[in-house]
Amino acid sequence: MSTFHTSAAPLPTLPPPSSTTFEPRYAPLRARRVKVYADDYVPSVDVLESLATGTLCAMIELPGLSRTDVTLAIETSTSYSGHNELVVQGDMPHAPSECWGYSTLLRERRTGAFRRTIPIPKGLMAQDIHAKMDNGLLVVTFPKVAPTGTRLSLSAGSGGRIPVN
């Protein structure tokens, strides 16, 4: 049988928040107004294929956005011959209204306007595409509409695009 030992000494506690509690930690940031990143927001995208149903599913991470903050469109691809592109665009806000009036000390979140394209088969119509937004995850499904044997492939150096060959 195991035994548990307890200590009579109290656990250490943090000092109450005050203007000086975090001052040493953020003083260098306040002096330089640090910006950690160099680029605007680029949503992460996963594209999945169902061999059973012949459909593709694109999942796009858009934390904090709702369906009214995002637009979807079909455009002719200038990069992939014989394909169109599903264009996802919107604007990742810099700060929520609760933070207006504050000074930035550290900035790691990427913000700003974004535009992400996903190659789709030529001839696909808007009514063939189904989109659902839930908790900042945009899920878009559409038929593969491609010749037998065509597979999804990732090509290195393609600027984040996932070509459908």
Give Cα separations from 3 to 6, 7, 11 (angstroms): 10, 13, 21
Domain ranges for the chain, please list them.
43-95+109-143
Predicted confidence at residue 24, as pLDDT, reads 56
CATH of domain 43-95+109-143: 2.60.40.790
Residue 165 has pLDDT above 60, yes or no: no
pLDDT, tens only, 127-152 = 788 899 989 999 999 888 643 333 33
Cβ distance 44 to 62 under 8 Å? no
